């Protein structure tokens, strides 16, 4: 089979699309004939090399994908050959204290397909059956591939961890990215007043289309000052910040008293200076969130499958052009997700 892969960490030129040995599914595993994969910024970080991340090389990236079950291993009874499925990338051990109490995202052995172990950007992928979700017939492969990681992340971050309620106000930073555009939709669904930032008028227009009530061009305006001005100096109840060091100080400044920041990542760096005096004096909460539980995944993907939520696709490319897909993410080109399909699908 052919797969996207790299044998060393580095820039985009380390990405190859070539032959890779096919795997047989083991106990509890399923082999999927992939029809589409989707990228996340996680793929860029994994390619560059994350501190403490020790991968078996060559590594196949990709945490998002969808396809058809081709074979099942022993002990698998949820799926059979021909089933349409999508990948939910968070893997837990099922046996530690956190898993036993129903919090698998806190698992001491938690890892993510495509980051810590081999991913799914290939013609075929073997994954645990527990990490597959059924995809209805009416859902296209690009939507099925693009939705799981970002929508489950946004759902848990805003509704479970952040406890966002109708009537509250929320600021979503980087609304044109994968998690950002999902967070705008989840916040709107929850009945919140949604503020969103992006870097171009085109991206802001898209953000408005999917649920943002107010938009701010952060390249032209100080978003913290804008939030203060537009809320009568009150601030917002919640900030969704997955940007990190570049925005952290202004995110804290944007919060109302008693407000909270929810974060699932730090694309510009994870060691920002912070405002401890503002945090304690205004009684702010800082809340971390990672991925989602299986029940949360089912809840949010049900709303994707029925059309309530829409994964926006900014580009669809052959897997042999994955380096170009990485460029689109790194240079922040477009709005929404980038999808890659196995090259052989273009030959039929």
Q: Does domain 152-288 have CATH number 3.40.1160.10?
A: no
- pLDDT < 70 positions in the chain: 348
Q: What is the pLDDT, as a whole number, of residue 258?
A: 97
Tokens representing 83? 């089933």
Q: What is the pLDDT, as a whole number, of residue 53?
A: 80
Q: What is the pLDDT, as a whole number, of residue 50?
A: 80
Q: What CATH number does domain 2-147+311-347 carry, 3.20.20.105, 3.90.180.10, 3.50.50.60, 3.40.50.300? A: 3.90.180.10
Q: Do domains 2-147+311-347 and 152-288 have the same CATH topology?
A: no
Q: Render pLDDT for 125-152 as a digit per residue (tens, 0 to 9).
A: 999 999 999 999 999 999 999 999 999 9
Q: What is the pLDDT, as a whole number, of residue 273?
A: 85
- Number of Cβ atoms within 10 Å of the Cβ of 87: 28
- What are the domain boundaries of the chain? 2-147+311-347, 152-288
Tokens representing 256? 């109302």
Q: What is the pLDDT, as a whole number, of residue 275?
A: 86
Q: Are strands 124-128 and 29-38 parallel, antiparallel or unpaired?
A: antiparallel
Q: What is the pLDDT, as a whole number, of residue 28?
A: 96
167, 188 contact by CB (below 8 A): no
CA nearest to 35, candidates 64, 5, 77: 64
Q: Render pLDDT for 312-347 as a digit per residue (tens, 0 to 9).
A: 999 999 999 999 999 999 998 888 899 999 999 887
For residue 80, the surrounding DSSP H or E stretch is none
145, 339 contact by CB (below 8 A): yes
Tokens representing 187? 């916040």
Q: What is the pLDDT, as a whole number, of residue 22?
A: 84
């Amino acid at each position: 089979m052919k797969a996207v892969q790299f044998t060393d960490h580095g820039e985009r030129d380390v990405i190859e699309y070539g032959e890779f040995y096919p795997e047989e599914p083991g106990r509890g595993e399923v082999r999927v004939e992939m029809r589409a994969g989707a990228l996340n910024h996680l793929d860029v970080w994994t390619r560059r090399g994350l501190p403490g991340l020790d991968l078996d090389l060559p590594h196949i990236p990709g945490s998002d994908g969808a396809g058809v079950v081709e074979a099942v291993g022993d002990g698998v009874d949820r799926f059979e050959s021909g089933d349409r499925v999508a990948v939910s990338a968070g893997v837990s051990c099922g046996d530690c204290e956190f898993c036993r109490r129903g919090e698998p995202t806190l698992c001491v052995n938690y890892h993510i397909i495509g980051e810590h172990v081999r991913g799914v950007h290939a013609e075929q992928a073997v994954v645990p059956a527990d990490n597959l979700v059924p995809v209805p017939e009416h859902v296209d492969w690009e939507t099925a591939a693009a939705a799981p990681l970002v929508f489950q992340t946004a759902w848990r971050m805003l509704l479970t961890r952040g406890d966002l309620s109708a009537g509250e106000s929320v600021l979503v930073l980087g609304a044109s990215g994968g998690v950002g555009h999902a967070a705008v939709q989840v916040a709107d669904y929850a009945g919140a007043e949604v503020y969103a930032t992006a870097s171009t008028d085109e991206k802001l227009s898209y953000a408005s289309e999917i649920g943002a009530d107010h938009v701010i061009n952060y390249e032209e305006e100080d978003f913290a000052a804008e939030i203060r001005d537009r809320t009568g100096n009150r601030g917002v109840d919640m900030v969704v910040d997955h940007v990190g060091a570049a925005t952290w100080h202004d995110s804290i400044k944007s919060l109302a008293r008693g407000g909270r920041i929810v974060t699932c990542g730090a694309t510009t760096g994870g060691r920002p200076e912070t405002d401890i005096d503002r945090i304690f004096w205004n009684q702010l909460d800082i809340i971390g969130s990672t991925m989602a539980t299986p029940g949360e995944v089912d809840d949010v993907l049900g709303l994707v499958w029925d059309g309530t939520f829409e994964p926006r696709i900014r580009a669809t490319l052959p897997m042999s052009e994955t380096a170009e897909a990485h460029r689109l993410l790194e240079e922040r080109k477009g709005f929404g997700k980038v999808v890659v399909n196995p090259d052989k699908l273009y030959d039929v």
